[in-house]
Structures are given as C-alpha cells and as structure tokens.
Amino acid sequence: MDSHLFGTSGIRGHGQKLFTNQFSFDIGRAFAIFLKKHNQIGKVAVGNDPRGSSPRIKDAFSSGIIYENFELFDEGVTPIPSLNVLLKADTSYVGSVMVSGSHIKPELNGLKFFAFGEEILKEHEAEIEKIYYEIKEKINYTDKSYVIVPSNRALTGYKEYLLSKAKGGYPSWKVIVDPGNGAQSDVMPWVFRQLGLNIIEMNSSIQLPFLSRDTEVEGDFADLQKNVVKEKADFGIGYDSDGDRVVFIDEKGGFIPGDYSGTLIARDYAYDSIVTPINTSQVVESLGKKVFRTKVGSPYVVEKMKEVKASFGFEANGGGIFSEMMSRDGGRASIEILNILAQVKGTLSKLVASLPKFYLFRDKVEYEWNLKEKIIEGAKGIFKGEKTEELDGLKIWLDKSTWILFRSSANAPEFRVFAESKNEEKARKLLTEGLSFVKKIVAQNLKS
C-alpha cells in the first residue's frame, strides 16, 4: 500500500485488500484521535453508499470511533452531502464520514471525512494520515458495532434542506430521475415530487445493484438520454452512487457536462469570484467574473473558496460547492438549476446555448502509477504550445482557446487526458493524439 492514504478527495482503494477490518478500525481510531486533538468532543455520524463492501467497512471503521469513546450514529444509505448538512444542523455532531467509492468500480471503496461543519482540508488529511501511522496495528481490531446507534437524521434533514432552497413556482415539468440505484434513490425523486414535478424514475432502488458511473463520461448515461427522448421529457437528471455529483440531459437527449451546469449556476449564484479546478472548461471565464483555478479535487476547491471568500465553486463532474456547506452536493446543484430554468422560462437546451460553445473531451487509460513522471516528461517533448501550466499534471495551451491536459488520477490507477477547443474537430484530434501517446508509454512498459 502507498504510504499516502489520501487521494484527490478522501481515501480510495480495494474494498477487501485495502479496507480490511484492521485498517478500517485503525482509520476510525485515527479520525477520532484527530477530533480529540482539535477539542471536537461530541457525536459522530457515519453513512454509506449501497455497494457490497460498505456495511462491513462501516462497522469496522465505526468500531474504531467507538473504541475512542465517541458515540456513533449509523445513518445508513444516505447521500454524502447529507452528512455535512447534519453537522451544520446539529452542532452536537463533531464529525461525519461517508463510506463510498463514488463512481469507481464496485470492488473498490473509500472514505470521505467531514469536521468543523465542512469537508476536511488537505492539511487535516495529512494530520489523520500521520496519526494512522503512529497507531497502526498497535491495537487489534475489536468489533464494537453492537453499540452503534441507528439513525435517519441525515436523510430527513437533507430533504428539508433541499426543499428550503427551492424557490418554487416550477412548471409541471416531466423529468426523468436516474439515481443509479445509489444513495439519492430515496431522496431526489421524493424531493422533486414535493416540488410539483411530474417524475419518472429509473434505477431508483437501493435494493438493486448500484450502477458505477462516471458523471464526466457521456456514454455512462446513454440509457437516460434515450429515455428522455422516448418519454418526451423536459429534461433528465442523473447522479453518481453517493449523490454528490449530478448530470443533466436536455429535452433533445443532449448530455450537459458539469462544466456547463456549473457555469450556469455560477452566472446566477456566484458573486464576483468562482473557484474551479484546472481541468474544467474555459467557458466559465466567459462570465467575466474572477476565476480561481485549483488542483483537481473538492478539498482544493473548498480551501480556495475559503481563502478568496467565494460563494460558489464547482468541478467538471457536476459537483457544485456552495459556501453555506463547503462540500460537493449534487442535490443542491439540481435545485439551483431548477430555480434558474424556471426564471428564464425556456428549455434546458436553450439555457445551455446561452453560453459560448467549447468542445471539451476527456478519457482515461488504466496504468501503473510509477509511469506518471515518464508520461508527463514525454508529453513535454512531443506537445508544444504557447504556454504550459503545471498546477496539477501538465496543461499545454496550443493557442488561446485550445489546450490539452495530462493528469494522473490520485484515486485510481488511471491516467486522464483532457482536450478542449472552440473547434470540435481540433479538440477530438488532440484528445486522440494525447491518448495514443499515453497508451504507447503504457504498452512499452508492459513489454519491458
């Protein structure tokens, strides 16, 4: 196991090989000790997504929390933003944790942490990691799951929070909602019905296998796109398995990337500053507001938002971050799009068309992490441009509106390539060239 436990956001790894009972127990203890060091004494809540390994990991992790004399509340299958809403609504809770692998493969899993009323920052992750290595395997795993207290406060509080953000007066839109049998299954269809929408559900049962889908990949929501057209719906809304990311499908079946939904919200909701990572579309700059770019990952966005006092930030995956919560929330972003769409009194496709058109394509290649520097250095020699940025990976600007980004995922052994241009053919060609280069390096390594 890599000595660095935390990736882009939280801890991710194999549900069995990394998240053993002992490891999960030790991480639970480490988080509890971290809270004590910051004088955060009170209740802790834990929730999970519906993947198979989540209940076992949750019990072992919770046992570590309980071992350190914290009262632990099990919120069950619940959207990840609900655990942050709980901290804000009830200050007797000093921490919360989500057991979820988000969009990654079903056999993988993860942990995401909240404290001080928001998603923890990178400096906090480093503290927890240090504590873990100090206490690692010093005490054998002790099952204390029998004293976990069942609760549903996170789920009910989150529903109330979302309803409070809805401005109302919506047309009786026909909307297809696809939570992917994930954590939003018992939330968003209910919320939308309360708001008077005509809802058609698909993949909305946590009793069925959840769908491991990446909200940045259009093909992962092909069925939703087809159903929107088939049912003549006004639009479709899809979520990842833990509910902090959202994608929108317009009435024509068109996939709307998170770059565009985020920019639409930023246009109406953000004050003078917007925070977004280096891999999102340059369409956000068209708003004329100050744009702060960060490394990829919600903790980086949250940290910069706090620094510049921004009211809104977003990621390309459809994760909107509102300053009132300071964590990614697919449900909250959904409500804001409803508010905007009701105000303009038009179709979703026309709303999106009000923004300049850029073509951003992205794809990934599975690889060994030790090839990262070889790929980056090789790309510097092959891809030339007007300027380069190395905030996170290697971003090369070929001209004022055309760029390619080479970046390794920190959550999974995947190397990602992004390419954007005002010219669709140029962007596609650039992505193909970038992927071919990465695949060539990976293939050479396999042969050797």
Give the pLDDT of the chain (448 residues) as one tens digit per residue: 446 899 888 999 999 999 999 999 999 999 999 999 999 999 999 999 999 999 999 999 999 999 999 999 999 999 999 999 999 999 999 999 999 988 778 899 999 999 999 999 999 999 999 999 999 999 999 999 999 999 999 999 999 999 999 999 999 999 999 999 999 999 999 999 999 999 999 999 999 998 989 898 888 999 999 999 999 999 999 999 999 999 999 999 999 999 999 999 999 999 999 999 999 999 999 999 999 999 999 999 999 999 999 999 999 999 999 999 999 999 999 999 999 999 998 999 999 999 999 999 999 999 998 999 999 999 999 999 999 999 999 999 999 999 999 999 877 788 999 999 999 999 999 999 999 999 999 998 887 5
* Predicted TM-score of the model (pTM): 0.92
Domain boundaries of the chain, sorted by first residue: 11-155, 166-353, 359-447
CB proximity list for 329: less than 8 A, separation 6 or greater: 81, 84, 244, 319, 320, 321, 322
Comparing CA positions, the residue from 315, 387, 384, 402 lying closest to residue 102 is 315
Is there a contact between 107 and 347 (Cβ–Cβ < 8 Å)? no
Q: What is the DSSP string of 70-116?
A: -EEEEEEE--HHHHHHHHHH-TTEEEEEEE--TTS-TTEEEEEEEET
Domain 11-155, CATH homologous superfamily name and number: Alpha-D-Glucose-1,6-Bisphosphate, subunit A, domain 3 (3.40.120.10)
Is there a contact between 299 and 251 (Cβ–Cβ < 8 Å)? no
Taking each continuous run of H as one helix and of E as one strand, the counts in the chain are: 13, 21
Residue 1, pLDDT score: 40
d(CA 256, CA 352): 8
Same topology, domains 11-155 and 166-353? Answer is: yes
CA distances from 85 to 19, 176, 191, 402 (A): 26, 26, 16, 39
End-to-end CA distance of the chain: 23
Q: Give 189-196 contacts, CB < 8 A, sequence gap 24+.
A: 190/159, 191/159, 191/162, 191/163, 191/331, 191/335, 194/163, 195/163, 195/166, 195/168, 195/170, 195/338, 196/170, 196/172
For 359-447, CATH number out of 3.30.450.40, 3.30.460.10, 3.30.310.50, 2.40.50.140 equals 3.30.310.50
Residue 236, pLDDT score: 98
d(CA 51, CA 101): 8
Angle made by CA atoms 102, 164, 186, in degrees to the nearest 5: 40
Max Cα distance, the chain (Å): 63
Burial class (CB in 10 A: 0-12, 13-18, 19+), 318: buried
Two structure tokens written together for 300: 């980086």
Angle made by CA atoms 411, 414, 420, in degrees to the nearest 5: 105
Q: What are phi and psi of 170, to 5 degrees?
A: -80, 145
CATH number, span 166-353: 3.40.120.10
Q: What are phi and psi of 247, to 5 degrees?
A: -130, 150
